[in-house]
Structure 1
Amino acid sequence: MNNSVLDKDYKYFIENMPAFYKKYGHRFLVIKNQGVLGDYDTFKSALDATLTTEKLGTFLVQECFKDKKQAVNHFQGNVAISKRKAA
């Protein structure tokens, strides 16, 4: 899977974050192929659970916020994540 697929998944997440927040609340979502594979309490639980069925580097783990402005950093590598900006 190349980075353009993960970029599309990240864009999908950002565009749909308000709806995701309404449905899931402040959770960690696993995104793959522009769909939500699961929602978890912590980043670690999301990653651990997803690695049982998915290959590292083929999905995103994103922290879901009420406001898109809170999800500011996008890191890509084996796993792409967003983290809240320090206040």
Structure 2
Amino acid sequence: MLDREYHYFKTHESDLIERYNGKFIAIVDEEVVGVFDSELTAYQEMKKKYGLGKFLLQHCVPSKDRVIQRYHSRVAFG
């Protein structure tokens, strides 16, 4: 779903962390489209601009400081 955006982040991780250290970035179509101080602000603004499921939010911190969150949904379409 957001594989391209995540791949972009992982490929450019060191450069992005150096440039945006401590910030939350929004990635759409392999491009940084927003830089924010808070995750909540990033989420609200990107949701309004792009809609849910269209952007990736990533905290730009070295991997040793990163918290990984995974969300799962039990949705079935029939």
TM-score between the two structures when normalised by the length of structure 2: 0.77
How do 1:57-68 and structure 2 match up within 5 A? Answer: 57-65=53-61, 67-68=62-63
1:71 is displaced (CA, Å) by: 3.9
Equivalent residue number for residue 54 of structure 1: 50
- Counterpart among 4, 10, 24 of residue 8 in structure 1: 4
Structure with the larger strand share: 1
Q: Which runs of 5+ in 2 are unaligned?
A: 73-78
TM-score between the two structures when normalised by the length of structure 1: 0.70
1:25-50 C-alpha deviation (Å, 9 max, x unpaired): 11111011000011101110101111
Which is greater in Rg?
2
Q: What is the CA RMSD across the aligned residues, in angstroms?
A: 1.8
Q: Which runs of 5+ in 1 are unaligned?
A: 78-87
How many residue pairs align between the two structures? Answer: 72
3-state SS, counterpart of residue 54 of structure 2: coil
* Counterpart amino acid of residue 75 in structure 1: R
**Kept in 2: contact 1:9–1:34 (CA 8 A):** yes
CA–CA distance in structure 1, aligned partners of residues 9 and 69 of structure 2 = 12
| More contact order relative to length (CA 8 Å, sep ≥ 6) | 2
- Counterpart among 68, 71, 74 of residue 73 in structure 1: 68
Indicate whether 1:36 and 2:10 are aligned. Answer: no
